[in-house]
Homo-oligomer: A and B are copies of this chain.
């Protein structure tokens, strides 16, 4: 079975949520205990965070993972 997950595109609203709370990338990184580069990489779509990270991020923004990370429509069937 070939890997279809890696081809899935996930959009996120990190930058906007950060703005709402007036947090810098470094602030957010510190809050969830990861490197600033990790936040940057997620925001710029370089990669999708692990579920543990996603849980923490959604928690900080007082919302759900689904609100922050959205799987592209066409990828639900992959």
Contact = CB atoms under 8 A, between A and B. Distances in A.
Nearest to A59: B76
Interface string A4-38: 11001010000000000000000000000111000
A21 to B, nearest CB: 17
A66 B66 CA distance: 9
A78 interface: yes
Contact of A52 (B1, B8, B56): B8
A64 interface: yes
Contact of A65 (B48, B66, B76, B78): B66
Interface string A41-78: 00000001111111110110000111001010001101
